[in-house]
Amino acid sequence: MDDAELMQRWQSGDRSAFEVLIQRWQQPIARFLFRLTGEAELTQDLAQEVFLRVYQAQQSYHENGTFAAWLYRIALNVARDSARRQKPTVPLSLYPEPIREEDPDQLELRTLVAQIISEMPEELRLVIHLRLDERRNFEEIARQTGTAASTWKSRFSRAMETLRSRLQQLGYGPEETTS
Amino acid sequence: MNCKEAKSRLVDLIQNELAPEVAHSVHAHLAQCPTCQKDYAEMQFVLESVRRTQAPSVQIEPAEIYQQAASHAEQQSRHWRRVSCALGLLAASFLIAFLSRNVEVRWTGSDPALTRTVIVEKESADTEQVRKQQEQIHHLMELTQALADEQQRREVEHQQELAELRAHVQETQQESIQWRAQMERQFAGLYQLYLVRKKGDLP
């Protein structure tokens, strides 16, 4: 049963349909929120908030777009609200140098990558999520968002270049990992 | 294939999203181009780093959502009650202000013990003015009544929503109790089976 049918059933009083939607979408939404916020410990609470808003907006959903687009819009608003509530994180440029010598393990690299991504503009974080986490091609992303595929392509290149150069500045690169 | 074409396909290649013949062409180009090889290694490193920063897995409990929604609805209902009280008070203050424009409180007598208050109605020079003020008071009263009706309607709606949500929560709790009982029965059955098998294994 697709999302639109489940929404219809839920709107007509079958709440088990809502629970199926939660099961289906909780992990994609968690991935999306994590990419936008870069905060693993916030993800559960924010995902809960997303589905609470979905629940409260049950009757205002109309099938003009896809359910996924509607859900992601809600998630984006939740992430934005959370960013407004959060204190700003320490910019990477203020990290003591060199980081790599102090703590060279993979956990450090994962934390850095998450932080570099969370400092990027929203559209770059979005394209990383859609292209790499959801593995959508640019044409699909363009259809879903209404923004040209070429724009998303150039955003993706910018995001990859930002990641590559920031990691290189911090002493991370392919040669070091293979040695 | 040239460097520009190869570079534009590096991500697709790393993610195994290219048709086999295109992937073969890119590999052929990489084999003979050190610059693209370097780009490929860097891109692979970046993508692998991103892939490793995966979101934690989450588990959303519908019962919690129902509970939170119920408490939000209750908060909202309380908020509207407060708003309507404040508006009522405001309307009352306006009424008093209007009325006090037409009355005067005068203290009389020189002996404080005999002092009494008399309320003397001011003579209105302009009867048209009085009529307008009465109209305004009437409108204000109508507005207050409409607000009270609206508040009552919202209250009824919220109560219905709350009742519905409470029923949902109860049902979910019942379901989980039933699930638990079923799991326990299944576990007991499996354990019995295990015991029988174990007994059978004994010499």
- Give the nearest chain B residue to A53 (CA atoms): B69
- pLDDT for position B104: 54
Q: Which residues of A touch B69 (CB under 8 A)?
A: 52, 55-56
B56 band by pLDDT with thresholds 50, 70 and 90: confident
Whole-number percent of chain B with pLDDT over 70: 84
Beta bridge mates, B118: B106
- Give the nearest chain A residue to B14 (CA atoms): A132
Whole-number percent of chain B with pLDDT over 90: 6
- pLDDT for position B110: 56
- pLDDT for position B73: 81
Average pLDDT over all residues of chain B: 80
Q: How far is A44 from chain B (nearest CA, A)?
A: 5
Q: Tokens in use for A130? A: 């859609």
A52 in B contact zone (CB under 8 Å)? yes
Of the candidate ranges A173-177, B36-40, B121-125, B127-131, the one whose mean pLDDT is the lowest: B121-125
Most B-contacting residue of A25, A110, A111, A119 (CB-CB within 10 A), to test interface: A110
A145 band by pLDDT with thresholds 50, 70 and 90: confident
- Give the nearest chain A residue to B18 (CA atoms): A137
Report the amino acid identity of residue B160.
Q
pLDDT at B8 over 60: yes
Report the amino acid identity of residue B54.
Q
- pLDDT for position B106: 53
Give the pLDDT mean for B120-139: 72
State the angle between helix axes of A67-85 and A40-56 in degrees (0 to 180), rounded to the nearest 10. Answer: 130
A171 in B contact zone (CB under 8 Å)? no
Minimal Cβ distance to A51: which of B51, B55, B65: B65
Instruction: Give the integer Cα–Cα distance in Å for B101 and A21.
Output: 62
CB contact under 8 Å between A132 and B51, yes or no, is: yes
Give the pLDDT mean for A99-106: 49
User: Helix, strand or coil for residue B86?
Assistant: helix
Q: Which residues of B touch A164 (CB under 8 A)?
A: 42-43, 46
- pLDDT for position B28: 92
Give the pLDDT mean for B150-164: 85
Give the pLDDT mean for B44-71: 86
Minimal Cβ distance to B58: which of A15, A26, A117: A26
CB contact under 8 Å between A172 and B49, yes or no, is: yes
Pick from B166, B66, B172: which is nearest to A56 by CA? B66
Give the pLDDT mean for B5-15: 87
A59 in B contact zone (CB under 8 Å)? no
CB contact under 8 Å between A31 and B54, yes or no, is: yes
**How far from the centroid of its chain's Cα atoms is residue A71's Cα?**
13
B82 in A contact zone (CB under 8 Å)? no
- pLDDT for position B191: 86
- pLDDT for position A90: 46
Pick from A56, A57, A32, A52: which is nearest to A42 by CA? A32
- How many interface pairs between A and B have CB atoms less than 8 angstroms apart? 96
Instruction: Give the integer Cα–Cα distance in Å for B37 and B172.
Output: 57
- pLDDT for position B200: 72
Over the stretch A24-83, which tens digit does the pLDDT of each residue have?
Answer: 999 999 999 988 888 888 899 999 999 999 998 888 887 666 788 888 889 989 988 888
- pLDDT for position B107: 55
DSSP assignment, residue B116? Answer: E
Measured in degrees and rounded to the nearest 5, phi and psi for residue A38 equal 70, 10
A148 band by pLDDT with thresholds 50, 70 and 90: very high
pLDDT at A20 over 90: yes
Give the pLDDT mean for B62-80: 84
pTM for this prediction: 0.60
Q: Which residues of B touch A110 (CB under 8 A)?
A: 49, 52-53
pLDDT at A18 over 50: yes
ipTM: 0.72
Q: Which residues of A touch B64 (CB under 8 A)?
A: 48
Average pLDDT over all residues of chain A: 82
